[in-house]
Amino acid sequence: MFTCNQIEEIKRKLQLIGRKDTSFPLAEPLNGNEIIAIVQQGQNKQLGLKTLIEKIGKYTTSDFTNLSKYSENSYTLGEAIKLVEPVNRRAGQVITFMDSSIGKWAIYQFKGSAASEWLNLQLWDNILAVVDNLNSDTKEKPLSAKQGKVLKEMIEAIQTSGVVVDSALSETSEHPVQNKVITEALNKINTELFPLSISVSGGGLYEKRTTQTITVKWTIKEGSNTVTPDTLSVNNESVSVSTTSKVFEGVTGNTTYTVKATKNGVTVQGSTSVTFVNPSYFGAVDADFTPTEDAIKALAKSVKSTKSYTGSVSLGNQKTCYAYPKSMGALTSIKDANNFEYLQSYTRSEVTVWNEAYYVYVLTDPVTIDSFKQIYS
């Protein structure tokens, strides 16, 4: 047992030999080899400062991890990514380490989307990588300083010497050529090998005093290939370049339809016409037939643009009659199926039909014959 005086004496002596923490000198500089005291499971223990910091780092989340920070160790990418604690294995994580494959520091970023892809080396992008080849197709990486210098020298050489660009094609020049010159040459070759052409249809021959609906159609080609023109018009009226026909209603008179198309500076055009004429007439008439407008209109009619006609009819003591507009000209020949000439066997007269002068040819003498063929020309 200690007396009160003894206890006070012990306290006084401890104060003389003891020191407060605040009176300790600063531990500078630190080198990581320092030892600190900790309490682990109720027991006082020693722990190296460097080890303490590394252990704390394992339980701290970060988007950037330095794997070679506290050691001289170098790693391959495959080795380095295995050292990252699971808590830091996430999309976008950036790591740096001494890369043993190149002997330099490297920085990689994880491009995957899930921790399950962490060990897939294809999902790691070398952020510091550069392109060291001017022929590379890589667009995501910057050009190295070395190749940048090469490129700079090439540009300066061109600026110093100047680039001569020819304004015409030449068999001897090694200079580049203006784009428009090449384009003009190619267009000329294309035009010669594959000329632009147009075909137009839809016209026809119709009887006067009728009303028609006309459909004009066209096809535009380069060589054998159907093409769409740059511009298109029908009778100078612009139409959509994608159309290939146009309908005209209520047509009663002679009309020409002209289709014009342009492609690559080349213009082509084609036409089709609608013509209205009075009909021609043919048939058997009695022996005492007198040509009149009504009598002629009673015969079989045909719509045609020339005087030529071939008709066949059976006669019983009758004559043949052929009438057509005088504007087509007089006949020069009338033959039968055996090529026998009959022109002199006909009597020609003129009669007004539909307010137009007609030539009327009537066989002079009546005959009796089956299937009497007459070829008028």
pLDDT digit string, tens, across residues 276-303: 999 999 999 999 999 999 999 999 999 9
Last residue of a domain, which of 223, 242, 276?
276
Shared domain for 116 and 174, answered yes or no, is: no
Q: Which residue in the block uniquely carries the two structure tokens 């600190």?
A: 36
CB-CB neighbours of 180 under 10 Å = 9
pLDDT per residue as tens digits for the range 35-86? 888 888 888 888 887 777 666 666 667 788 888 875 678 999 999 999 998 8
Instruction: Report the pLDDT value the prediction gives residue 338, as an integer from 0 to 100.
Output: 96
The answer to whether position 11 is within a domain reads no
The answer to whether position 13 is within a domain reads no
Cβ(336)–Cβ(369) below 8 Å: no
Phi/psi zone of residue 265: left (φ > 0), alpha (ψ -120 to 50 degrees), beta?
Answer: left
What range defines the domain where residue 168 resides? 163-193
In whole angstroms, give the CA distance from residue 217 to residue 129.
64
Query: Strand 204-207 relative to strand 266-277: parallel, antiparallel, unpaired?
Result: parallel
The answer to whether position 117 is within a domain reads yes
Per the prediction, the chain carries an average pLDDT of 88
The answer to whether position 22 is within a domain reads no
Omega of the bond leading into 29 within 30 degrees of 0 (cis): yes
Shared domain for 271 and 302, answered yes or no, is: no
Q: Could you tell me the pTM of the whole model?
A: 0.52
Tokens of 143: 């050009």
pLDDT per residue as tens digits for the range 258-274? 999 999 999 999 999 99
In whole angstroms, give the CA distance from residue 104 to residue 9.
65
Residue 215 β-bridge partners: 247
In whole angstroms, give the CA distance from residue 365 to residue 346.
8
In whole angstroms, give the CA distance from residue 217 to residue 252.
19
Q: Which residue in the block uniquely carries the two structure tokens 């060291």?
A: 132
Please count the structural domains in the chain: 4
Strand, helix or coil at 129? coil
The answer to whether position 216 is within a domain reads yes
Shared domain for 226 and 305, answered yes or no, is: no
Instruction: Report the pLDDT value the prediction gives residue 57, as an integer from 0 to 100.
Output: 61
Last residue of a domain, which of 276, 298, 324?
276
Shared domain for 298 and 371, answered yes or no, is: yes
The closest of 72, 93, 76, 92 to 84, measured between CA atoms, is 93
In the predicted model, is pLDDT for residue 207 greater than 80? yes
Looking at residue 62, its amino acid is S
Look up the CATH number of the domain holding residue 228. 2.60.40.10
The answer to whether position 110 is within a domain reads yes
Higher pLDDT, 170 or 123: 123
Instruction: Report the pLDDT value the prediction gives residue 375, as an integer from 0 to 100.
Output: 98
